[in-house]
Amino acid sequence: MPQALVVRGMSPRTQQAYRAAVRGLAKYSHQPPDTLREPPLHTYLPYLIEQRHCAPSRVRVTVMGLRFFSTHTLQRSFANLPLPKRTKTLPVVFSREEVARLLANTATLRERALLMTTYGGGLRVSEVGRLRVNDIDAQRDLLRIEPGKGRKDRYTLLGPRLLATLRQYWQG
């Protein structure tokens, strides 16, 4: 299974989560993972939800890990394991006043530039940390993010205030 995860380009965290899913099922059923059949699978998921109180997102990752294990390692397919519904939450959006207060309370130009880029561009902290001057496309008002989540490159909007702040930061 570890080789199959690497060959398919899974991230280290995904690899870790999938291996933990297989170990958890083996521990629950008291059997080696390669000898498992369907019945323990269908009692394991309710166990995770009802007794372990796992979040739906964790159960989803477990199901995906077990599907991967059965398909790519055992080369057999278990019956379709059901996926719990995703919980949909709305993002927290600050008001203009809250954003202005947040930016006004920064101690340095660097902090202000980081916060403006993160919030204004909708970036993750890891994406902001990898930005370079070459990633700014001032003519088209875009920021190039490479690599983003899931190793996917993307563009995000670059507002005039953010552009001015970034120029000020990188020039001085």
- Evaluate if residue 78 carries a pLDDT over 70: no
- Is residue 2 scored above 80 in pLDDT? yes
CB 154 within 8 A of CB 124: no
pLDDT at residue 37, as a whole number? 67
Element (H, E) at 141: none
Token reading at 30: 């008291």
What pLDDT shows up at residue 38?
64
Enter the DSSP assignment of 50: I
Average pLDDT over residues 3-23: 88
Is the pLDDT at 41 greater than 80? The verdict is no
Report pLDDT for 34. 78
> What confidence tens digit (pLDDT) does each residue in 80-103 have?
777 777 778 888 888 999 989 999
* Average pLDDT score, the chain: 85
Encode pLDDT of 138-170 as tens digits.
889 888 988 766 777 888 888 889 888 888 887
* 4-13, long-range: CB < 8 A, 24+ apart: 4/68, 4/72, 4/73, 5/68, 8/72, 9/151, 11/151
Look at residue 101 in the predicted model and tell me its pLDDT. 92
The C-alpha atoms of residue 141 and residue 143 are separated, in whole angstroms, by 7
pLDDT, tens digit, for every residue of 42-62?
A: 788 889 989 999 888 898 999
Query: Structure pTM?
Result: 0.59
pLDDT at 20: 92
